[in-house]
Amino acid sequence: MQVAYVVRDMESAVQTWCATFQTGPFYMFHFDKTSTYRGEPVQLNVLIALGYSGDLQIEFIQPLDDGPSIYRETLNSRGEGFHHQKWQFEDYDADVARLKSMGLKPAMWGEVPGMARATYFDALSTLGYFIELSEGSAGHLQRMDGSSRPLASGTAVIRFGRSAISDSAGGVHGMLCGSHTQLRPTGSRSRRLGFGARGSLSAQLMGL
């Protein structure tokens, strides 16, 4: 299972989490992809950081613009904090249909190319947060927990300890709360990431 938080400052949020709970590292990604938000097509532009606390996957999400999404919606309505739980099932379509039959409405849905489809359900009125359902079928790398999962032919994988993450998802762009290391972002040169004179890590990742 995954728990996810929406934040305005990725670097600050992850560093605070790591200092408080002594967990990490977290690996950062940049997603710029098309999705559907409450029935309308949108372009998502977000930073994602993934890490673990025991067997629980932790995700932080930082929108990089003011475009509409459930992430921006939450920041605007109630600020930073807990955003959603994520569950993965072998029969994604059946479970999406099951939640719809229970009266839950999809709030946002889309696909990470080369990885999986995902649907966020609006459970704000009952649970106070969103529920994400994600594919866990063969041909996709889903768990990101070291489990052995088949990959689509030709998919590059970057492995760091317990994580195994498809490079086609946008590339690993950096690491927080761990020994700074040389990682190769998709389509750009490898660079050493830090928190020094070159500005914030987020700015470095975005080339600002």
pLDDT in tens, 184-205: 333 322 222 232 323 344 443 3
Counted domains in the chain: 1
Please spell the DSSP secondary structure of 160-202, one letter per residue: ETTEEEEGGGT-EEEEESS---EE--TTS--EE--SSTT--HH
- Overall average pLDDT of the 26-47 stretch: 93
Q: How far apart are alpha carbons 34 and 46 in whole angstroms?
A: 12
Instruction: Give the whole-number percent of the chain exceeding pLDDT 90.
Output: 46
pTM: 0.71
Q: Which domain holds residue 155?
A: 2-205
Domain at 120, CATH number: 3.10.180.10
pLDDT of residue 136: 67
pLDDT of residue 173: 54
Q: What are phi and psi of 65, to 5 degrees?
A: -150, -175
The alpha helices in the chain, defined as continuous H runs, are: 10-21, 70-78, 92-101, 201-205
Radius of gyration of the chain (CA): 17
**Per-residue DSSP letter, 104:** P
Between 21 and 109, name the one with better pLDDT: 109
